């Protein structure tokens, strides 16, 4: 018998309806699923034996066939500014050990957890170091939700009993919409009031622009959407975000406005990495403003995080400021990312170049930026 056939079912990341079906299969009432969810997500319990309001024989049946198991922590780091980072072991599809990372960014009044959705990425954006690493495999819903479960356990409760993780962003390693099958149930658990009970505005999915999946997402859930635009025209975007050759800007924006309409969302964030001399000129800002003006859009300017072997440099602070002012002048909302947790990157090979106003964290072998703006 192969090991997959004997493996226990990991309950992490299982949406409520599915969990109800699962407990029914064990001969229990559906409300047992609700009790289980409270134990798993509210109390962070993984040991069925300690779930004392469940009948003892049901706990034993559960323990025989199910488990609550996050990925193993390889290393945990804490920055002087309170940013925390966990390197998690993700067994690779080829049997080679891989790792992903989860990052917690505290701010006054909020705590943002940045999670990964894949081991590596297949999309090949030219300014992203994950692209150099290639794609290994999708994470399961258990591995995605498990990052939140682990971070919750590691962070503990805040002294006043308030939740520590208030926001979750899919801005770690991977393209979440390329792993729709696991990301959707994971989102359902994040939003479920018996799961992490996060409001839809506090869960952000960032995508490089998989148009069919954006349309599908509009039908299936209503989280906040962030889109990695990075260029105001197809010629430039084809080069920076190659998926643009399949799903050009026009189709992408149409999907975005449809998403907003369907979800009655507040706005869509367009991420725009600032690359010196590539996409940061005043004419790019004006072209971008023309694309977005009149829509519920917000631009998040991301100072480029450099990495070994890249041909790009980050725009100068003056160029970023000029770009920002042109957008603001055209009536487009803009935020710029801030630096957090850069001291803990030193240990895992943080690069020397530092740019003002950015969040810089290393995810696995990937250097990313995490938006910590509203």
Active-site residues: which are they?
97, 348
Distance CA 346, CA 201 (A): 32
Interface residue with ligand SAH, options 10, 77, 204, 208 (CB under 6 A): 208
In the complex with ligand SAH, which residue's Cβ is closer, 175 or 192?
Answer: 175
Interface residue with ligand SAH, options 302, 327, 332, 355 (CB under 6 A): 302
Residue 217 touching ligand SAH (CB under 6 A): no
Residue 263 touching ligand SAH (CB under 6 A): no
Q: How far is the CB of 357 from ligand SAH (least distance, A)?
A: 12
Please report the DSSP string for 153-185 in residue order.
HHH---TTS--S--EEEE-SSS-GGGGHHHHHH
End-to-end CA distance of the chain: 51
Site size toward ligand SAH, by CB under 6 A? 18
Q: How far is the CB of 94 from ligand SAH (least distance, A)?
A: 22
Residue 101 touching ligand SAH (CB under 6 A): no
Q: How far is the CB of 183 from ligand SAH (least distance, A)?
A: 11
Please report the DSSP string for 88-129 in residue order.
EEEE-TTS-EEEEEEEEEEETTEEEEE---EEE-SS--TT-H
Residues 24-83, interacting with ligand SAH (CB under 6 A): none
**Could you tell me which stretch among 180-188, 202-210, 281-289, 344-352 binds ligand SAH (CB under 6 A)?**
202-210
CA triplet 341, 320, 357: central angle to 5 degrees?
15
Q: Are 118 and 135 in contact (CB under 8 A)?
A: yes
Crossing angle of the two packed helices 16-25 and 180-191, in degrees rounded to 10: 90
Binding mask 227-246 for ligand SAH (x = CB under 6 A): -x------------------
Interface residue with ligand SAH, options 119, 142, 273, 372 (CB under 6 A): 273
Residue 305 touching ligand SAH (CB under 6 A): yes
Distance CA 340, CA 357 (A): 9
**Could you tell me which stretch among 78-86, 259-267, 346-354, 361-369 binds ligand SAH (CB under 6 A)?**
361-369
Other beta carbons less than 10 A from residue 133's beta carbon? 16
Helix/strand/coil for 259: helix
Q: Which stretch of DSSP H or E encloses residue 363?
A: strand 361-363
Residue 171 touching ligand SAH (CB under 6 A): yes
Q: How far is the CB of 153 from ligand SAH (least distance, A)?
A: 25
Residue 175 touching ligand SAH (CB under 6 A): yes
Q: How far is the CB of 124 from ligand SAH (least distance, A)?
A: 11
How far from 60 is each of 51, 52, 55, CA to CA, in Å? 11, 12, 9
**Could you tell me which stretch among 65-73, 142-150, 200-208, 283-291 binds ligand SAH (CB under 6 A)?**
200-208
Interface residue with ligand SAH, options 236, 304, 326, 364 (CB under 6 A): 304
Please report the DSSP string for 299-329 in residue order.
EEEEEPPP-TT----BPPHHHHHHHHHHHHH
Binding mask 81-100 for ligand SAH (x = CB under 6 A): --------------------
Q: How far is the CB of 179 from ligand SAH (least distance, A)?
A: 10
Q: Are 152 and 104 in contact (CB under 8 A)?
A: no
**CB under 8 Å to 202, separation ≥6 — which residues?**
166, 167, 168, 224
Q: How far is the CB of 315 from ligand SAH (least distance, A)?
A: 11
Binding mask 102-131 for ligand SAH (x = CB under 6 A): -----------------------x-xxx--
**Could you tell me which stretch among 7-15, 49-57, 78-86, 363-371 binds ligand SAH (CB under 6 A)?**
363-371
How far from 85 is each of 7, 107, 136, 148, 368, CA to CA, in Å? 29, 15, 21, 12, 13
Q: Which residues bind ligand SAH (CB under 6 A)?
A: 125, 127-129, 171, 175, 206-208, 228, 271, 273, 302, 304-305, 367-369
């Amino acid at each position: 018998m192969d090991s997959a056939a004997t493996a226990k079912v990991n309950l992490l990341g299982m949406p409520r309806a599915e969990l109800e079906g699962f407990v029914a299969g064990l001969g229990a009432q559906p409300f047992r699923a609700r009790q289980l969810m409270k134990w798993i997500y509210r109390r962070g319990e993984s040991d069925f034996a300690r779930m004392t309001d469940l009948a003892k024989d049901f706990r034993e049946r559960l323990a025989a066939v199910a488990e609550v198991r996050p990925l193993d922590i390889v290393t945990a780091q804490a920055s002087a500014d309170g940013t925390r980072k966990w390197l998690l072991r993700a067994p690779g599809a080829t049997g080679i050990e891989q790792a992903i990372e989860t990052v917690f960014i505290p701010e006054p009044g909020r705590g943002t957890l940045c999670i990964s959705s894949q081991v590596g990425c297949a999309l090949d954006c030219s300014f992203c170091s994950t692209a150099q690493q290639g794609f290994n495999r999708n994470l399961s819903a258990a591995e995605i939700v498990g990052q939140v479960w682990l971070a919750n356990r590691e962070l503990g409760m805040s002294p006043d009993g308030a939740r520590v993780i208030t926001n979750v962003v899919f801005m770690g390693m991977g393209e979440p919409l390329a792993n729709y099958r696991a990301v959707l149930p994971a989102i359902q658990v994040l939003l479920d009031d018996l799961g992490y009970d996060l409001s839809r505005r506090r869960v952000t999915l960032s995508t490089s622009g998989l148009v069919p999946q954006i349309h599908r997402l509009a039908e299936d859930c209503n989280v906040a959407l962030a889109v990695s635009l990075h260029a105001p025209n197809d010629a430039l975007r084809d080069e920076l975000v190659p998926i643009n050759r399949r799903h050009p800007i026009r189709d992408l924006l149409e999907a975005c406005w449809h998403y907003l309409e369907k979800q009655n969302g507040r706005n869509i964030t367009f991420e725009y990495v600032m690359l010196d001399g590539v996409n940061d000129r005043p004419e790019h800002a004006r072209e971008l403003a023309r694309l977005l003006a009149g829509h519920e859009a917000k631009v998040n300017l991301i100072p480029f995080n450099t990495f070994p072997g890249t041909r790009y440099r980050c725009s100068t602070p003056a160029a970023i400021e000029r770009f920002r002012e042109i957008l603001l002048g055209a009536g487009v909302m803009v935020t710029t990312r801030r630096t957090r947790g850069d001291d803990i990157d030193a240990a895992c090979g943080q690069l020397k170049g530092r740019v003002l106003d950015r969040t810089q964290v290393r995810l696995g072998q990937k250097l990313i930026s995490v938006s910590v703006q509203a």
